[in-house]
Amino acid sequence: MNFWDHPLVRRIAISCVIGIAVALVISEGSYYLLNDGTRRDPQTIELIIPAGTAEQVAAGKSVPSLPTNMTFVEGDVLLVKNQDVTDHQLGPVWVPPDATGSLALGEVNRFRFGCSFQPGRYLGIDVRPAGSSLQSRLLALILIGPPTIALIVVYGILVVPLKPASATGTRPQSLPAPVVTLSETGAAVNDMIHHSPNGKTVL
């Protein structure tokens, strides 16, 4: 009998296919239902502080390109290029003059930092969970898949028990059918025959 013809193997294989399909539907369905539109893959966000920014801020002018609250996702890298002649602080990133500073935003949180080029001197940073990374969706599939498969296999065995190989009408090829010749085993066969009182003979 071929390995894949074994009823248990076939049942596990079918359960795997169903389990993965169910896990895929659950994980992707949850993702699309829960995604509020702000979730995305982590990326590098580059901000340039142009020359003369410090003077503008000192004069009470706002830097128009920068909002007072910024939203990032977990894993984003905030890259700040300071082209000004003085050092600047953008939230958690402090950058000396004519240098580049970066920070990997690793934790979901809300921060309120000092900011040297906001007239209010403060900057709000909101770090949200990254939503659509292939890695996290694969992880969801890995976490949901195996328990679902196991559940389907157990459920299937309970609802439709496996039939013994003989009951399926096929005999495993790995076990050759015994060949019995009456001349050699006549006595043994005779012992297995029961003669019933009504004259019928049964094995």
Footprint of another protein on this chain (CB under 8 A)?
Answer: 2-3, 86-87, 89, 91-96, 99-104, 106, 113
CA atoms of 106 and 128, how far apart (whole Å)? 10
Residue 168 beta carbon to another protein: minimum distance, rounded to whole angstroms: 19
Helix, strand, or coil here: 148? Answer: helix
CA distance 129 to 167: 55
d(CA 153, CA 149): 6
> Which run of H or E residues covers position 104?
strand 99-104
* Shortest spacing between CB 94 and another protein, in angstroms: 5
Which of 26, 103 has the CB closer to another protein? Answer: 103
Residue 104 burial by Cβ neighbours in a 10 Å radius (0-12, 13-18, 19+): exposed
- Alpha-carbon gap, residue 148 to 162, rounded angstroms: 20
152 Cβ partners below 8 Å, 6+ apart?
Answer: 15, 18, 19, 22
Q: Which is nearer to another protein, 6 or 137 (CB)?
A: 6
Residue number, 31 or 94, with CB nearest to another protein: 94
Kindly tell me which of 65 and 174 has the beta carbon lying closer to another protein.
174
Smallest distance, another protein to C-beta of residue 29, A: 28
C-beta neighbour count of 102 within 10 angstroms: 14
Pick between residue 56 and residue 86 the one whose CB is nearest to another protein.
86
| Shortest separation between residue 142's beta carbon and another protein, angstroms | 12
How many angstroms separate the CA atoms of 145 and 137, rounded?
12
Q: From the CB of 32, what's the least distance to another protein, in Å?
A: 29
Residue (97 or 156) nearer to another protein, CB: 97
Q: Name the minimum Å distance from CB 89 to another protein.
A: 7
SS3 (DSSP) at 193: coil
